[in-house]
Structure 1
């Protein structure tokens, strides 16, 4: 399985869908907590549920199991904790949820998965940590 990450922010629809197509994605896994408000733009849940199958002939899933804990995310977004502390807390949360084995149970049949997160030029996203965890588990 190939795993890529992409952000819902600071990208055009053309760049977003071209990247997914170049990776030959067969699943876009949305791991965001909030994906229905106006800030999500063209990446709102219902829009992606339509566009991904239509344009990419791929599946779209929104799975909050892989989303960060709301309080931890808010602390990171507001600068109350640094990236390393946030990433460590996210890793621990994923271990407690047993998220990695569940990922492979739910999505292990896919060949090319893209994890949708919320990185910007100024902040990183939990999906890069999730990708590392998934690849480490797959290598074992």
Structure 2
């Protein structure tokens, strides 16, 4: 019997740095798994890759990993964001993409356990981090998902 994997998800927008880091530390997150396509934008504020990696280590001794295979392609993202596409189409295209990439074979349960999928969306409902978490649970089973 596999022991269950605790997988968290978080978005950094609409949160202060204090709220963001305290939430991660208080939840017992061991590593942040960045699922963003673009993690160096000035718009990311404290969550720009180099800054985030530093803050996580300093504030909570939390590891940082960027897994591009968990990010949508620019085309899929642009169709949804810039061309105001509908969520159902985005979800379908994104799930097809992670299926084609077979992300479940590229990560270990050890990496996921205590991990926290990061993206920018404030809430998980219309967000690819939720889709990644649910997809991995479908493939690997035994994942307890907690949206922070």
Scaled by the length of structure 1, what TM-score is found?
0.89
Question: Matches of 2:26 and 2:122 in 1, distance apart?
Answer: 21
8 Å contact kept, 2:10–2:122: no
- What is the aligned counterpart of 2:134 among 119, 123, 132? 132
Match of 2:110 in 1: 109
- Return the offset for 1:80: 3.5
Q: CA deviation at 1:94?
A: 0.4
Match of 1:82 among 86, 96, 103: 86
Report the TM-score when normalising by structure 2: 0.84
How far did residue 71 of structure 1 move?
0.5
* Aligned partner of residue 107 in structure 2, secondary structure: helix
Higher relative contact order (CA 8 A, sep 6+): 2
Structure 1: runs of 5 or more not aligned: none
Bigger share in helix: 1
Cα distance in 2 between the residues matched to 1:79 and 1:128: 22
Q: RMSD between aligned alpha carbons?
A: 1.7
Superposed displacement of residue 78, structure 1: 2.2
Q: Which residue of 2 aligns with 1:44?
A: 48
CA distance in 2, matches of 1:42, 1:99: 27
Q: 2:36 matched to which residue of 1?
A: 32
Deviating above 4 A after TM superposition, structure 1's stretches of 4 or more consecutive aligned residues are: none
- What is the deviation of 1:45? 0.1
Q: Which residue of 1 aligns with 2:96?
A: 92
